[in-house]
Amino acid sequence: MAAAPVATQVDPPRGTKLETLMDSPQFRATTIVAVRRKNKAAIAGDGQVTFGEVVLKNKSRKVRRMAGGKVLGGFAGTVADALALFEKFEGHLQAHPDDLRRAAVELAKEWRTDKYLRDLKAVLAVVDKTTLLMISGTGEIIEPDDDILAIGSGAPEALGAARALMKHTNLTAREIAEEALRIAATICIYTNDQITIEEL
């Protein structure tokens, strides 16, 4: 009787890009939660930056104000890439003031088609008092149905917590964003409770 086949792992060829990606530690940063409620908007981000299994920084700031304080943004991914994208996005906000969706569409188009920008690795969350969006480098723009958005390492935990808080409490947008992030920090090892919050 023939022996059952044995599953084996085939290692990538030495020196290949695939091997490098598999062997290299990864930067993980961060968790961002954005919430709109009762004509208020808030965005919160934790401060942890992790490289492989090492925490490099505990108080990194990954949320900011844009468009003269009318728009809030946060990012998950590589810091330098996200800052470059924020700079591009602010240019589109200036070209399309008071139209967050149009600015997001223009950034997504440029991000997807530009030879330099399409290699940038980050995801953006942006919000004003009427609109909440996620923008990705694949050209996707997602507007959540429930005015709650979470991106980054602890996004599933933060999103679940925020939805429960929105449904079962009368907390403000700021309070929901902060508490959801604190809950995520107790579950996700790449998220801490050094929280930065911006509010409209």
- Does residue 78 have an active-site annotation? no
Catalytic hit among 8, 16, 20, 30 = 30
Say whether 94 sits in a helix, a strand or coil: helix
Burial of 73 (0-12, 13-18, 19+ CB in 10 A): buried
Note the helical H segments in the chain: 17-23, 79-95, 100-113, 155-168, 173-185
Unique residue bearing structure tokens 């728009």: 71
- Residues with a catalytic annotation lie at 30
